[in-house]
Amino acid sequence: MDRRAGWLVAAALLGSGCSEEPIERTLQIVTGHEADTFSATPAVTKIRIQAKTASGTTFAAETTPGGTFDLGEVPEDEPLGVEVTGTTAEGATVVRGRSLTGIVPGAFASADIPVFVQRVGQWARPPGGLVRAHVDAPAAVLGEQFLVTTGGSAAASADGAADVRLGDFYDLLGLGPAVTPALPLPARTIVGRPGGMMLLGETGASAVDADGSAYAVAWPASAGSFADVAGGLVVESPSGTSYVVGATRAGTATDVVLVVSSAGALSVLRLSAARRGAAAAWAPGVGLVVAGGNTSAAGFEVLPEGGTAFAPRDMPADATEGAAAVVAGDGKMALVGGLDAMGAAANVRTWSPSCTSACATEEVAGAVLPVGLTRAQGFSLGGSRMLVVGHEATAAKLVRVFVVDRSGPTVEERPLREPRAGAAVVAAPNGTLAILGGVLEDGSPALHVETLFPD
């Protein structure tokens, strides 16, 4: 059941713009498909709501589950963001929710403005879902508002199989689905941009603008083709440049990296050695780091910000495939997940990405994942903590999620609400992680989106 929480909390936002009569909007705190968000142990006893405008003005109120609150005369024409926290009797924060930062109350056609909240550190399903679930498909953020997925090996709705070229979106502002007609090609990688996206497939690439218009994109004047990078991980730099690293894919090794500038211009760079199933991440102050995926080449190599060539570093070869690279809060880089040269689950290990000679990894004793993961992606949770999402190296290939803390060390699983295979993970602009698509254990499409608010 989709719980839009009309019985939970309602809040009045009275617009104070230029109209003679102020508009009235109701801020709804919604819990989506979870019935125990406030009542689960430990229960929430107090809810705090804070709305902050772009100019820095803050409006706040407190209530209890089932109560009401009034934020007063919030400007109807100024963008704002809403933060919700639910605390226990002891003052611990166990529920959180955060809107996008561009809410303009007067722009909502409906009087209801939803804000989704969930238990921290647990996956939850926001209202609605996708019309179709894509399997083994890429995902990205479009326009800082929509989660998008398209392409993949299959797609299905509640009514059956569908064309994988169809686009499926989840609106983080309105908390509901949106769709597009068939896109120009079956995508294996999506490069997201505020005003559109670029789809990369085996046979070519297309740019799709926010209004839905699309046009073909040519491969740069260089050897190779889009088939060399399609399916590769996209790594973003602070300057807005996107790097599509073909070497992160399983299968045939490649050294091709497609560079997409913030203006959309394409160029090609090459690794010092071809790799497959490599890990890649951006290390602040260092640049793009690509590691593993080769039995004889340097253990990792680096492309500095604005650089034109990768530099192999003096570290022994690392044959690990399918791992995630994560930069922790102390600047150390970690390889998490993946399979070693013998096909066994690889140990978690760290090294300094700024190292240039006599580099070596250090195993994190005690931080051992209970199952081998492939196609892993990692995210820093600050300090020594990191989260890894991957597909278990079993016949089921279910998506598994673990939080690894190097300081313990500890490994804790964060199970999905709906176990699924072939799903995609993306960092959402409201500070959560989102899982989209895939297929459930009974073979039906996984239409619900799942999000995690890190604890």
The proportion of the chain whose per-residue pLDDT surpasses 90, expressed as a percent, equals 77
Residue 66 has pLDDT above 90, yes or no: no
Q: 38-47: per-residue pLDDT in tens?
A: 999 999 999 9
pLDDT band at 13 (very low <50, low <70, confident <90, very high): low
Cβ atoms of residues 348 and 367 within 8 Å: yes
User: Taking 90 as the threshold, does the pLDDT of residue 133 lie above it?
Assistant: yes
Computed over every residue of the chain, the mean pLDDT equals: 91
pLDDT at 408: 85
The residues facing 392 across adjacent strands are 373
User: Does the pLDDT value for residue 11 go beyond 70?
Assistant: no
Q: Which of 252, 225, 227, 256 is nearest to 243 (CA)?
A: 256
Domain locations in the chain as residue ranges = 10-120
| pTM, entire model | 0.92
Mean pLDDT score, 100-113: 75
Residue 407 CB partners (closer than 8 Å, separation 6+): 383, 384, 385
For position 21, what pLDDT does the model report? 57
Dihedral pair phi/psi, residue 105, rounded to 5° = -50, -40
Nearest to 248 by CA among 361, 376, 391, 140: 376
Residue 447: is its pLDDT beyond 80?
yes
Q: What is the rounded average pLDDT of the residues 321-344?
A: 92
